[in-house]
Amino acid sequence: MRAARALLVLALAGCAPVVTHGARVEPGLYVGATAGLLVTQDTARAPDVLAPQWVPFARYGLAGKPGGVAGSLGVALGSSPESPVEADAYLQLPTPAPEWAYGAGVVASRALAMPYVQVGKSFGRGYEAYATQAFVRRDDFNDRQIVLSEFTPTEVRPRYWASTVALRRRDGPVGLSLQVTGAFGRYEERVRDSGSGTRSRPLRAVTASLAADVNVARFVHEVLGVTRRPIPRDAPPR
Q: What is the mean pLDDT of residues 19-25?
A: 93
Q: Sign of the CA dihedral 194, 183, 159, 38?
A: negative
Q: What CA–CA distance (Å, rounded) separates 45 from 30? A: 37
Q: What is the pLDDT of residues 129-140, one digit of tens each?
A: 999 999 999 876
pLDDT of residue 202: 82
Confidence class for position 191, pLDDT limits 50, 70, 90: low
Reported as type and span, the H/E element at residue 220 is: helix 216-227
Q: Which residues pair with 194 in a beta bridge?
A: none
More confident residue, 44 or 202: 202
Q: How confident is the model at residue 2 (pLDDT cuts 50, 70, 90)?
A: very low
The CATH number for 2-227, chosen from 2.40.160, 1.10.287, 2.60.120, 2.60.40, is 2.40.160
Window from 14-18, 42-46, 188-192 with minimum mean pLDDT: 42-46
CA distances from residue 168 to 28, 74, 106, 117, 134 in whole angstroms, order as listed = 17, 18, 20, 17, 18
How far apart CA 138 and CA 121 sit, in angstroms, is 31
Of the pLDDT bands very low, low, confident and very high (cuts 50, 70, 90), residue 84 is confident
Mean pLDDT rounded to a whole number for the chain: 79
Q: What is the mean pLDDT of residues 100-129?
A: 93
CA angle 77, 93, 132 (to 5 degrees): 50
pLDDT tens figures, 172-183: 899 999 999 998
DSSP string, 16-81: B----S-SS---EEEEEEEEEEEEEES-TTSTTSSPBP--EEEEEEEE-STTS-EEEEEEEEEEET
8 A C-beta contact, residue 101 and residue 78: no
Listed by start position, the domains of the chain span 2-227
- In this predicted structure, the answer to whether residue 4 has a pLDDT above a threshold of 70 is no
Rounded mean pLDDT, 189-210: 76
**C-alpha closest to that of 45 among 143, 197, 165, 149:** 149
Task: Find the angle CA(43)-CA(45)-CA(49) to the nearest 5 degrees.
Answer: 65
CB 189 within 8 A of CB 46: yes
Looking at residue 78, its pLDDT comes to 67
Q: Which segment of 3-12, 52-61, 229-238 scores lowest on mean pLDDT?
A: 3-12
- Better pLDDT: 191 or 150: 191
* Residue of 115, 61, 113, 114 lying closest to 92 (CA atoms): 61
User: Does residue 207 surpass a pLDDT of 90?
Assistant: no
Name which residue leads in pLDDT, 48 or 44.
48
Least confident of 78-92, 132-146, 220-234: 220-234
Residue 8 in this model has a pLDDT that exceeds 60: no
Give the separation between CA 17 and CA 20, rounded to whole angstroms.
Answer: 9
**What's the rounded mean pLDDT across residues 28-33?**
95
Mean pLDDT, range 120-124, rounded to an integer: 90
Averaged pLDDT for residues 208-223 = 90
